[in-house]
Each structure stands twice: as C-alpha cells, then as structure tokens.
Chains A and B, each alone.
Chain A
Amino acid sequence: KNQVEQSPQSLIILEGKNCTLQCNYTVSPFSNLRWYKQDTGRGPVSLTIMTFSENTKSNGRYTATLDADTKQSSLHITASQLSDSASYICVVSAGNTGFQKLVFGTGTRLLVSP
C-alpha cells in the first residue's frame, strides 16, 4: 500500500531558529517527491519537487533532501519567520509515465513563535 508518513506531527520553534521536517514513504513506482506549504484555509503551494536522481533542492530558506535508497526526505527551514507558520505536506507522485497519482502525507503543523 502506498503510504507517506511525516514527523513530527506538530512543532513549535522560536523565530529565527532552524528546523527539519521528516518524510518517509513507501510508494511504487516512485516518480517524484514534493513538499507543499499550506496556510490555514488556503490551498497548498509548491515549495520543491525532486525526481529520483535529485538528492537536494533549495527554494530560498527551504532546502529539501531526498534519499531514494532509504525512501526518506527532509525539509529544512533556515532562519524561520513568523510567516513560516503553516502545515507542510510531503507528497509523493506514483506512476511511470502520463498520469501520476499523488500520495499525501498527513503534514507537519509548524508554529513559529516570536
């Protein structure tokens, strides 16, 4: 069964600090892995997308890593800001070519406090 698990479920950090969110997956066939940021009451916004051959990708203060051998990914947030408070969702795309089905993790709720 295709699954994506994220940890921690929730996290509180002080503004300016760094944090790392984890994602483990069992999805086959693997196509790509995405990290989304979802603000409360809003749709998800893409942060990074990585294919099998990529092991790191950055988007500003967000850096995602992918270990396709251990089927793990992480999202590192540097110098957190209050606006980083949101849910972060790890999504793995399953499929070979054409239509790909997204498998969603349950998300990590991050709260950045002043």
Chain B
Amino acid sequence: GAVVSQHPSWVICKSGTSVKIECRSLDFQATTMFWYRQFPKQSLMLMATSNEGSKATYEQGVEKDKFLINHASLTLSTLTVTSAHPEDSSFYICSANGGQRTYEQYFGPGTRLTVT
C-alpha cells in the first residue's frame, strides 16, 4: 500500500517549452503533496507544498509563475515547468502525505527532466 507514481519517468524538452509532470497516489488519498528538486549528488530540496483544492505554498526562492502546481484531486498533483531553460534540468520528485500513517511521506520514483 501507499504507492506514489510519477509520469513521465523522464522527459527531454527544448528550451522555451513547457513540460507537465504528474504525481498520483495510487491506493490512498493524499491530503498534502510535496514537490522536490534534486541536483546531482545533492539532497532533495523542497519546492512547494500543495493541499487539494487550494493554492500551493512555495519555498523561498522558487518562482511560482515558473513552476505551476495544481492539486485538483486527492490523488493527483501536477507540476508544470513553464518556459523551461537548461538550468531547470533536474530530478523532480513528489511525495504525498496520507494513507494509514498520516505523518508519513511516501515518495514517487522521480522524473528526470532534461532541457536542451
């Protein structure tokens, strides 16, 4: 139980285009979902926290107009990287709170974004 999936697992896009990453909780309802970014050999950095039906809360230094987060249902959150640039290339990981242990965060497998 408590499985989180992400789609796509990897994506390559051209500079200036937008790309959407989906995060789904497969067998539980996620009250809160989190989006992280991880650069090579570094730890996860929280980008934003989102609750279903409300606006996401962004961490300091994260541009909310560039990283659009939509949490339309209790099982789906999306992250859209708008006007992507090569420096946005990174590993994006989502996690979700919920399930039987509400304090636990269950992580998705991650999405590798490469902007050329």
A residues adjacent to B (C-beta < 8 A) = 31-32, 36, 41-46, 49, 89, 93, 99-102, 104-107, 109
Contact = CB atoms under 8 A, between A and B. Distances in A.
Contacts of A31: 103
A26 to B, nearest CB: 16
Contacts of B109: 42-43
Contacts of A101: 46
B44 A104 contact: yes
The 5 A-B pairs of least Cβ separation, nearest first, read A43-B107, A104-B43, A43-B110, A106-B43, A43-B109
Interface of B: 4, 6, 32, 41-46, 49, 91, 93, 95, 103-110, 112
Contacts of B44: 44, 89, 104
A92 B41 CA distance: 19
A89 B43 contact: yes
Chain B interface, >50% SS class:
strand
B112 A100 contact: no
Contact of A106 (B42, B106, B107, B108): B42
Nearest to B44: A104
B43 A105 contact: yes
Contacts of B42: 106
Contacts of B108: 43
B103 A100 contact: yes
Contacts of A104: 43-45
